[in-house]
A and B are shown apart, each in its own frame.
Chain A
């Protein structure tokens, strides 16, 4: 065996490939390559938009803020040292920008909700909450949607953010801790408190 290279089977790790790809795109974007940054935006646009939308419950605000987040991120890209993933870093920008926006404009805002997609028909729990009669279902769903968004808007910004990131977007406690720059215990306690609050506000639908 001496002299012959030891061959190990190559195992493709999509997560590693993805990280390497994103790192490459970030490197190019740092050098001013807008097409690389365009690719990064396409990768994260839905997640960032949805986070902002679920926080603001307003499509127009979410549109403006999400664009602003990506523009600010590009301008700040030189300060990105790669200590965290690009995903965490840009989420952090989105979270901070959205919380600041809500603190400044919270009282003057109104709901501007997006439509509910047709996939909701496959959600047994949600369909069981509303009338089974087709003509009323959409009305009931829209009413439920409004109640849900109103309840979320009653939470403080940080509690709303934890609920959005964990219960709506499915991000882990650890990742939320990194994004919100707090420890996991804080994330858990905020989540618990926020859920309690929402449970009380939406008790009509949860009994």
Chain B
């Protein structure tokens, strides 16, 4: 279609008028500055919008944070209770290794800890140590302190 270029020669000459249309004097002197300012503004806005997003997320966080802190307090309290129980056993000479004398992980039902610890020390359960199949059952001291629900299972690996 370039062969038909002559057909449109006058039109192209007329279109050359467009090349003479110019923006106001000095327009391009600060064009780049305006672009750079626009870029910096956009960067600030994007940072601001990120901050806004974070804040909006935090607005609904208190519920989650509250739930999390309640769960955390519960875990800490449970940990304290368990550690107190463990220290009670240790104070009375109970050692987790003693319970494993049967050679396998076991479950021992302990009702009277003071009695159980004295039996461990005296070796009254026999020379082979404590059998996991022979639970120590006593009631008096423990029941008097915790009642019938004081019976608990102690797990040892």
Please report A residues at the B interface, Cβ cutoff 8 Å.
Answer: 34, 37-38, 41-42, 45-46, 49, 53-54, 59, 62-63, 66-67, 70-71, 74-75, 113-117, 119-120, 123, 125-126, 129, 141, 144-145, 148-149, 163-164, 167-168, 188-189, 191-192, 195, 198-199, 202, 205-206
Contact = CB atoms under 8 A, between A and B. Distances in A.
Contacts of B12: 167
A205 B14 contact: yes
B11 to A, nearest CB: 5
Interface size class of B (residues with CB under 8 A): 20 to 34
Contact of A195 (B11, B17, B23, B39): B11
Contact of A206 (B11, B22, B23, B27): B11
B53 to A, nearest CB: 18
Given A34-B36, A46-B28, A114-B23, A144 B17 contact: yes
Contacts of A149: 18
A142 to B, nearest CB: 11
Nearest to B41: A71
A117 B40 CA distance: 34
Contact of A116 (B15, B20, B27, B31): B20
B13 interface: yes
Interface string B1-32: 11010001011111111111111100110011
Given A46-B28, A49-B23, A114-B22, A71 B11 contact: no
B10 to A, nearest CB: 5
Contact of A45 (B8, B16, B21, B28): B28
Nearest to A41: B32
Nearest to A149: B18
B46 to A, nearest CB: 9
Contacts of B2: 188
Given A116-B21, A167-B15, A168-B19, A199 B35 contact: no
Contacts of A53: 21, 23
B4 to A, nearest CB: 7
Interface string B73-94: 0000000000000000000000
Contacts of B13: 125-126
A54 B19 CA distance: 9
Given A167-B12, A191-B1, A38 B32 contact: yes
